């Protein structure tokens, strides 16, 4: 059984998720900065049980704590899309150049592409490529959950005017997410959790009857 806990971090309150599978395994999604609360939770569950540090995209407010947690928990593997892999080293791309005095660069252990899968206990993590906010943005599908990063958030989408962003790609990504048949729990990069069913009905960017007007 998958359990999700949310830790909003930093000035931008980017959501870091601590996810567990039963009592056997855990992962972090988008640790945007070092956090004693997140560290404590990982240790409480079992530091050797932390399998992955998953990154939905390469902006500093989502990856800024990855190197820190990798040092604390070296058995965990950092995962990012192949197309966003340069963001972990290039401060102009990850935007830290404009918001921070320094950034703790790193290299991912695993780079993924659309359709790839990662084993997670009795579950499987599926990777869905969703460019738009960045060229290498991805969603992670796990159990009855989808972690959308800054692609889709409650009632809106992420910005498309940063380096490698694209409104055309965002349109296609939002439509792809909307086409998922299941009513998944949606855990976003910022703000409250929602559901895919609710967003299909109420998110103007996801409503099929509005696509042509918006793009």
Q: Which residue intervals of the chain are DSSP H helices?
A: 36-45, 60-63, 66-72, 96-99, 167-178, 196-202, 211-214
d(C-alpha 57, C-alpha 100), whole Å: 18
Q: How far is CA 33 from CA 17, 42, 69, 70, 182, in A?
A: 12, 15, 9, 12, 32
pLDDT in the model for residue 207: 74
Domains and CATH numbers, the chain: 2-96+110-214 (3.60.15.10)
Say which residues have a Cβ less than 8 Å from residue 17's Cβ, sequence separation at least 6: 4, 5, 6, 7, 28, 29, 30, 147, 187
pLDDT in the model for residue 210: 52
pTM: 0.95
Mean pLDDT across the chain, nearest whole number?
94
Q: How far is CA 159 from CA 40, 120, 150, 164, in A?
A: 32, 31, 8, 11
The pLDDT confidence band at residue 214, using thresholds 50, 70 and 90, is: very low
Token duo for residue 59:
């902006």
pLDDT in the model for residue 102: 87
> Over 80: is that where the pLDDT of 144 sits?
yes
pLDDT tens for 80-137 read 999 999 999 999 999 999 988 889 999 999 999 999 999 999 999 999 999 999 999 9
d(C-alpha 30, C-alpha 166), whole Å: 21
Mean pLDDT of 165-177: 96
pLDDT in the model for residue 206: 86
Mean pLDDT of 143-152: 98
pLDDT tens for 84-98 read 999 999 999 999 999
DSSP 159: -
DSSP 180: -
> Over 60: is that where the pLDDT of 35 sits?
yes
CB-count burial class (<10 Å; 0-12, 13-18, 19+) for 129: buried
pLDDT tens for 48-67 read 999 999 999 999 999 999 99
> What is the C-alpha radius of gyration for the chain, rounded to an integer number of angstroms?
16
pLDDT in the model for residue 100: 84
DSSP 12: T
């Amino acid at each position: 059984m998958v359990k999700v806990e949310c830790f909003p971090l930093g000035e931008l309150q980017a959501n870091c998720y601590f996810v567990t599978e039963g009592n056997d395994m855990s992962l972090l999604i988008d640790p945007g900065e070092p956090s004693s609360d997140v560290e404590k939770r990982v240790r409480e569950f079992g530091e050797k049980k932390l399998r992955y540090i998953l990154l939905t995209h390469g902006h500093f407010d989502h990856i800024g704590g990855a190197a820190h947690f990798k040092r604390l928990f070296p058995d965990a593997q950092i995962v990012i899309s192949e197309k966003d892999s340069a963001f972990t080293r290039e401060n102009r791309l990850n935007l830290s150049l404009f918001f921070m005095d320094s950034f703790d660069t790193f290299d991912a252990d695993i780079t993924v592409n659309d359709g790839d899968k990662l084993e997670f206990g009795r579950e499987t993590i599926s990777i869905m490529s969703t460019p738009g906010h960045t060229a290498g943005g991805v969603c992670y599908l796990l159990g009855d959950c989808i972690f959308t990063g800054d692609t889709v958030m409650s009632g809106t989408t992420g910005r498309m005017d940063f380096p490698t962003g694209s409104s055309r790609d965002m349109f296609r990504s939002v439509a792809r997410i909307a086409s998922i048949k299941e009513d998944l729990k949606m855990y976003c990069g910022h703000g409250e959790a929602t559901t895919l069913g609710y967003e299909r009905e109420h998110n103007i960017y996801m409503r099929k009857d509005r696509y042509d007007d918006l793009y």
